[in-house]
Amino acid sequence: MINFKNFLKDKIYIDLYLFISITLLSIMGLVFLYSASQGNIETIIKQSFFVIFGLFLMFIVSQPDPDFYKNNSAIFLIFSLVLVLVTLFFGKEVNGARRWLDLGFFTLQTSEIIKVALPVFLAAYLYDKPLPINLFNTFTTLVLILLIVNLVRIQPDLGTSLVILIAGLYILFLAGLSWRFIGISSGIFILSLPFIWNNFLEPFQRQRILTLLDPNADPFGSGWNITQSKIAIGSGGLQGKGYQMGSQAHLDFLPETETDFIFSVIAEEFGFIGVCILLSIFLFILLRCLYLAFDARDRFCRLTIGGLSLLFLSTVFINLSMVVGIIPVVGMPLPFISKGGSSLLSFYIAFGIIISMATHKKLMQK
């Protein structure tokens, strides 16, 4: 018995805190989704499959030694890059966007894979570079990030490309990008904002930003989504309207209830108390990741845990800020809650990698 327990401890790599909290979040997600999809059984069965498969995948991904990811990160990146390129030419077009590869049993959103592969690759690339990161490495990294971000942006998928950009920059920042470089490039970025506004943003994207500044200017046009979302959240009050009792969600006032605006449904039906409970689970996961990053065995592991956890943090933050009307509407799911297999699986994989980085110790550090 004792031997068996030791065997498990030695051979099975698992972080119970993360595993339990993510499982809990996934189950809550299924419960929320059932209401948000108006009780659509098919949606729930499909999502349940992804959850079970995803948890299994997370477990599998956490077993190999971090060195496996470090040594093969380039292969993963190239593989996912090929997928993205294939998508660009042969992807399934939905509403004018080519984001999905039809695999028969499952349509894969390939940008979700590269979202995880890029930070791991960058961590592997930068972990042995001297501090501060020199200009050459900074530029090669930046060029790679921008290349991939643009491949995703032209699908078009602004939300995901934004997250990939942020994830790449986190790694660069955590790896020791010089403050001087940060300062200068931030200055240039701010100065070029008007130029970006005029030349890089589509009219509908500009409209979204303007809508954010004054959603009441056109409550039935572009302000509709955000107005209805605020009404849904606000009318939930402290205790919520009750499970499946949200009129905003169930009478079609709220758009995209299963994906982008699922948080509004939760807030409407479970109120501020429900929101606080949900946010504390997210917070717990994030703090656990922070601890694991401190505890990691080497720089590669640290960078990977830091980068992937910030990727998760940013996704959550962008989604929540969007639905309460702090930032413009960009397509962004709420991790482990929103409907959508690709996004779900990518986060299970990301946490699988985090657990692998955190649980594989070396007796003697180099």
> Rule CB under 8 A: which residues touch other proteins?
128, 130-131, 170, 173-176, 228, 230-238, 247-248, 251-253, 267, 271-272, 275-276, 279, 283, 286, 290, 293-294, 299, 302-303, 306, 310, 313-314, 317, 320-321, 324-326
CB of 255 to other proteins, least distance (A): 9
Nearer to other proteins, 84 or 175 (CB): 175
Nearer to other proteins, 34 or 173 (CB): 173
Nearer to other proteins, 109 or 257 (CB): 257
Parallel/antiparallel/unpaired status of strands 107-109 and 92-94? unpaired
Assigned token pair, 215: 């959603």
* All residues at 6 or more sequence positions from 311 whose CB lies less than 8 Å from its CB, including other chains: 115, 116, 119, 163, 166, 167, 170, 350
CB of 204 to other proteins, least distance (A): 21
Distance CA 1, CA 5 (A): 6
Q: 228-242: buried (b, 16+ CB within 10 Å) or exposed (e) per residue? A: bbbbbbeebeeebbe
Nearest to 88 by CA among 154, 180, 168: 154
CB of 122 to other proteins, least distance (A): 14
- DSSP classification of residue 256: S
Distance CA 156, CA 143 (A): 19
Query: Which uninterrupted H or E stretch holds 182?
Result: helix 179-191
Nearer to other proteins, 163 or 303 (CB): 303
Contact 115, 163 (CB under 8 A): yes
Contact 174, 307 (CB under 8 A): yes
Query: Which uninterrupted H or E stretch holds 97?
Result: strand 97-102
Nearer to other proteins, 183 or 237 (CB): 237
CB of 302 to other proteins, least distance (A): 6
- DSSP classification of residue 216: G
CB of 290 to other proteins, least distance (A): 6
Nearer to other proteins, 102 or 128 (CB): 128
Nearer to other proteins, 151 or 355 (CB): 355
CB of 310 to other proteins, least distance (A): 6
CB of 5 to other proteins, least distance (A): 32
Nearer to other proteins, 83 or 301 (CB): 301
CB of 231 to other proteins, least distance (A): 5
Nearer to other proteins, 115 or 302 (CB): 302
Distance CA 188, CA 348 (A): 37
Nearest to 118 by CA among 178, 183, 156, 165: 165
* All residues at 6 or more sequence positions from 219 whose CB lies less than 8 Å from its CB, including other chains: 227
* All residues at 6 or more sequence positions from 208 whose CB lies less than 8 Å from its CB, including other chains: 222, 328, 329, 330
CB of 237 to other proteins, least distance (A): 5
Distance CA 130, CA 174 (A): 13
